[in-house]
Amino acid sequence: MMFHRLVVDPLEQLKLIDVLQRLGVSYHFEHEIRSILENIYNTHHSGDHVCKKQSLYATALESRLLRQHGYKVPQETFKSFTNENGDFKECLCNNTEEVLALYEASFLLIEGESILEEARHFATKHLNDYVEKSKDQNLCAMVNHALELPLHWRMIRLEARWFIDVYAWWWKSTGLGELSFARDRVVESFLWTVGATFEPQFGYKRRMVTRLYALITTIDNVYDVNGTLDELELFTDVERWDINAMEQLPHYMQLCFLTLYNSISEKAFNILKEKGFNSVRYLKREAKWYCKRYTPSLLEYLGNAWITITGPNILVHSYFLVTNPKALELLEEYDPDIIRWIALIVRLTYDLGTSTVCKPFFPNL
């Protein structure tokens, strides 16, 4: 697998190497990893710094991986992140993931490297402050894990087992997996996304759409299995998209609604940050669209089946997660029939595949 040809962005290459190492499978790709790091090291010393010094995360990740593989990377690489007194700039603490990357890189220092010693003190202080104040369970777990013992000091094989569990944290943190009626289909959902977009550069899209599939499956169970008619009428009333309105819902529906609300908000924030486009009203519309679904009569079936299969939800989320900013400007002009026909094909294909299974339960089909 020549992944250095598939992933051409240097920072994405470094991220991939880091993940492969932490999963304990990097030994399968020793030649590719050496080739990438050699190229990055040579580029660094030619004056064209691959990590563009303004990115602390990229600089720290590059420094850690290169040093780990025996390359001599000067500590002065981090000097641009310090002030005139030699202290790391306080504004850096606004991004915890970058500080965490700096923390891990600082443990590959050698005796007398004062900049990296200061980096360790700076990162440790701010990571401890973050843990005390933050409510982000996933990131706090990663920070606590690092503060307990840095990556460079850990046993690789045991670390790999812990890192694999990281991928299930989101589902566990929602509490939805504890609902007796909810189907745990995170792995199955991820497989769906791999079938649609397997290319390495779409990793973020795969993670987000996997979450969407998992939410759709759970909300579908709410309607089909667990919810009473009165509860479903309350749950369906999401016109205001008002988080305060969930107080009238039973606990399990509050979990579902809050997870849906937070997931949409997180996607919209990341799209705005990365692509400069405010997508929240589109994503919110799709969330409402799904939650308001109903079982159509036979005459209405074709007109509504393309909605109940959740095709519009998946297509719209996928569009925002992979499309470049210029294409987003054309969104207001798109033809809704494109989504409708694609979703209808998915609906009819699904019905053909499941009709024989469902017929014993629905003899009038």
* pLDDT for the residue numbered 336: 65
CATH fold group of domain 10-171: Glycosyltransferase (1.50.10)
* pLDDT for the residue numbered 3: 57
Q: Print pLDDT tens along the chain (365 aa).
A: 455 565 678 888 999 899 999 988 999 999 999 999 999 999 876 554 444 456 899 999 999 999 999 999 999 999 999 999 989 999 998 899 999 999 999 999 999 999 999 999 999 999 999 999 887 777 888 999 999 999 999 998 888 888 877 767 777 777 777 777 766 777 787 887 888 777 777 777 788 888 887 887 787 777 766 777 777 777 766 545 667 777 788 888 888 888 877 777 777 767 666 666 565 555 555 455 455 554 545 555 666 666 656 666 677 777 767 666 555 555 555 556 777 777 778 777 777 776 665 555 444 44
93, two tokens:
């603490």
* pLDDT for the residue numbered 294: 44
Separation of alpha carbons 344 and 102, rounded Å = 49
**Strand, coil or helix: 228:** coil
Q: For the packed helices 30-45 and 10-22, what is the interaxial angle rounded to 10 degrees?
A: 140
Separation of alpha carbons 55 and 105, rounded Å = 14
Separation of alpha carbons 317 and 11, rounded Å = 25
DSSP 233-267: HHHH--TT--GGGGGGS-HHHHHHHHHHHHHHHHH
Residue 178 identity (one-letter amino acid):
E
**Strand, coil or helix: 82:** strand
* pLDDT for the residue numbered 286: 46
* pLDDT for the residue numbered 136: 74
φ, ψ of residue 276 in degrees (nearest 5): 70, 25
The C-alpha R_g of the chain, in whole angstroms, comes to 24
* pLDDT for the residue numbered 46: 57
Which class is 185-354 in CATH? Answer: mainly alpha
* pLDDT for the residue numbered 364: 47
Domain boundaries, the chain: 10-171, 185-354
